[in-house]
Structure 1
Amino acid sequence: MKTQVAIIGAGPSGLLLGQLLAKQGIDNVIIERVSGEYILGRIRAGVLEQGMTDLLREAGVGERMDREGQVHKGVELAFNNKRVQIELEKLTGGNTVMVYGQTEVTRDLMEARAEKGLTTYYESSNVVLHDVKSATPYVTFEQNGKEHRLECDYIAGCDGFHGVSRQTIPESSRKEFERVYPFGWLGILSDTPPVNDELIYCKTDRGFAMTSMRSATRSRYYIQVPLTDKVEDWSDDDFWTELKNRLPDDVAERLVTGPSIEKSIAPLRSFVCEPMQYGNLFLVGDAAHIVPPTGAKGLNLAASDVATLNKIMARVYQEGDKECVNQYSEICLRRVWHGERFSWWMTNMLHDFSDEGSKDAETHERFMSSELNFYTDTEEGRRVIAMQYVGLPYEDLK
């Protein structure tokens, strides 16, 4: 088999890249190790930056998002039992975010790909990338017990942190940066009306909490917990009680509780692999970087990687400029590190680090409380938060 771009991974980044390339007449094949049903069963965040919503519309998959998604013109920070609104639209000159679940984004992209009849191999095994530094890379994989060989010009590694793409780059040719946080987020999904029209990030002496939503009738809530906690340690009643204790009083009073339909604990970490390109292999999204969810940047950074790679492939196939591929890692990493820094900053400012056991924990808390007050007390400070939360502009090629 032959194609122009082989895409490893059928998550939202791989599917979005495939859709954008197909719109430009660039042939692509997606290879995925699990089933489509498994992918759709993964519960993930759903706060989309302005740039990502624009990119989904460009890909021709924004109709249901625009119909069912919730445009948020602001977000709230709560601390010391007070609430501060960050007026995103006002402070950024008109930019907003969209609350629309990652599962729904993926579903829209899957349906669009199937409608176009584009080739996707699900439940593939033994995926191996070959000769990625040559002009003739190829991918081998097994499907239904039969081995396949896919020849291509370029490979996009959209297969996540545990995928084969990053591991294909020799350790001597990549450098990895990591910060593991001493806590996780216990998240619950419930068919209850959201407690607030906008997301609330709460800093308390008991730990961090966040109120979010998936729709007008489905809520998503999180609380900070020690890494040693397990999901089975937390009953629904225990969760709701603790959440109420961490919300501002007026918010807690109107919280509607109910049975959980999903409950999980997500560890928090920052991770970046440099470079994001090795020969004709490009790392996209979680294959190259992971952020703590505090800044709502994970899916959005993947989308900006996709936007950059799509521009590069357009220039390669429409203008014959193969040298432009060397811009990929440099452009992506600039935005990645901005997103990593913002997520690290928000995580440090809003979470409780007292359980870390460090002698500096109390000093850290004083610094971060001052930081939070400094940025929320002035319009200039709130604008700095708003500009980063809605997402920095996508960078063009040189």
Structure 2
Amino acid sequence: MFSRLIITTSIVLKITLLSTFISLLSGCDEQQEISKWPLDKQANLSELVKPAPISYSKELRFYGLVKGFNSIPISFLEAGRIESLLVTEGQVIKSGQTIGELYSPSLADKLSQAVAALEKVKVKLKVDLEELARNIKLFNKGVVSEQVLEQAKKAFDITTQEVREAQSIVKTKEKELSALTLVLNEDGIVSKLHKRKGDFLNVGEPLLRFDSTSRMKVSFNVPENVAIDLSLGEENNIFLPALNKVITAVLIEKSFPTTNEQFLHSLTYEISSGAYQAIGLRATLVVNIEPTLAHSIDYKAIRYDAKGNAYAIKSDQSFEKVAIDIIDIKNETAIVKANFNSNDHIVLGGDVSLPVNYYEF
């Protein structure tokens, strides 16, 4: 009896040890199977989060610089040294005001030569006139022939024409010389001086930049999703921080986007009211974006493909790449537009958390 009990106990012990050994072998096989996964294919389901739907609105601000509606470089039509400069940067200019004068020795010499030539031909005209008068008297007395009289008339006519030509040359040289005096015909302000008294100016080289004050404008560079909602002729409020003042402006120009990858449109507004003190000041255009449906997600869920496009990875029944449009980021929270459903979950963390080959995406 005691012997049978020992045998039975021995058999049970062997069966128990065998079961334990089989279980250990099975566990080793399972662990071995998991270890076959590369590190970047091991899933961590604790890194799944649920996008939160929100109603998103935002106030966008764009910055520009107020300029005169006509902001142009001013230059002389002749070359020369600046003899006088009667304005300074920031000075207000009235229409008809003299800005400065050039000195050009060559033009002065040419005018002197033209005046001398005119005086010389005037003397000749006086002599021819006296000769003509004498020949008329002699012809009336029958002393000279008609041919001599005609020659005297012809000489007088030729000299008269020479006087007219000389007078025209003098006027031309005086006009050229007057171009050395610069006078503006519009109210404005000197926004920038490029040259100073005593400097030499070539033809067409700018002396200063002039901004008209009767009308003003300001330009802003905005993204295309903002520009598309703004129409020509539309009024907007422009804020001038330095003056703590809001002024009304009308959109008068919408340019095509720049050729770089940012695709920014230049919007130009005409300022219908305000003083010339606004020229040169920073202006702010405030655009309110209408509320739109978006999702709030952890910024660590955002990934980028080789082309720089943002996306997230959904992980419900399977892994799926979802394109996202990032519209705002605050701290660690990103506001995005994406095709998320109410029960979707997205993967956080780096690529090592994915149980599939990341590069297959």
Structure with higher Rg: it is 2
Higher share in helix:
1
TM-score, normalising length: structure 2: 0.20
Higher share in strand:
2
Bigger RCO of structures 1 and 2 (CA < 8 A, at least 6 apart): 2
